[in-house]
Amino acid sequence: MKIAKTFLPNVSTAEKKCYVIDAADKILGRVAAKAAHYLRGKHRADFTTHFDSGDLVVIVNAGKIKVTGKKLTDKIYQRYSGYPSGQRRIALGDLLKKAPTEAMHLAVDRMISKGPLGNAIRRRLRVYADDKHPHQAQSPIVVTI
């Protein structure tokens, strides 16, 4: 009697796809959660925790996202350079005016685990402020939220 082996995906068997998410008039956190889900590969039947089986995710219209409540004024992004007086703070509303894609990048980045596997996953995220993107050659699949 022959016992069937468990299938484990590897680099040669993994096929990568491209997904497009339209963020126009969508909630920031919901779009970021869906993008992190597809980037990690959890939508696939052959998902494995130790292997990068995720796909390319393109987010368009990131400049037209919505947030609930008073997050435009109350949500503060801060960073620190390590030098005295090096702390910088910016509200979400100001960040959306200055760099419309940065808020989406930060939201998705913070939903992905840290470390070498997370770094490889983060490289497959593309965010665009408007509806134009150069990824038509990958035959992207549209994801609805």
According to the model, what pLDDT value does residue 131 have?
92
Rounded CA-CA distance 145/143 in Å is 7
According to the model, what pLDDT value does residue 48 have?
86
Over residues 34-92, the pLDDT tens digits come to 999 999 999 998 888 888 888 999 999 999 999 999 999 999 999 999 999 999 999 99
Quote the pTM value.
0.89
Query: Given pLDDT bands bounded at 50, 70 and 90, which one contains residue 31?
Result: very high
Kindly tell me if the per-residue pLDDT of 20 is higher than 90: yes
* HEC readout, the chain: CCCCCCCCCCCCCCCCCEEEEECCCCEHHHHHHHHHHHHHCCCCCCCCCCCCCCCEEEEECHHHCECCCCHHHHCEEEEECCCCCCEEEEEHHHHHHHCCCHHHHHHHHCCCCCCHHHHHHHCCEEECCCCCCCCHHHCCEEECC
Q: Which domains does the chain have, with CATH numbers?
A: 18-66+101-132 (3.90.1180.10)
According to the model, what pLDDT value does residue 30 have?
96
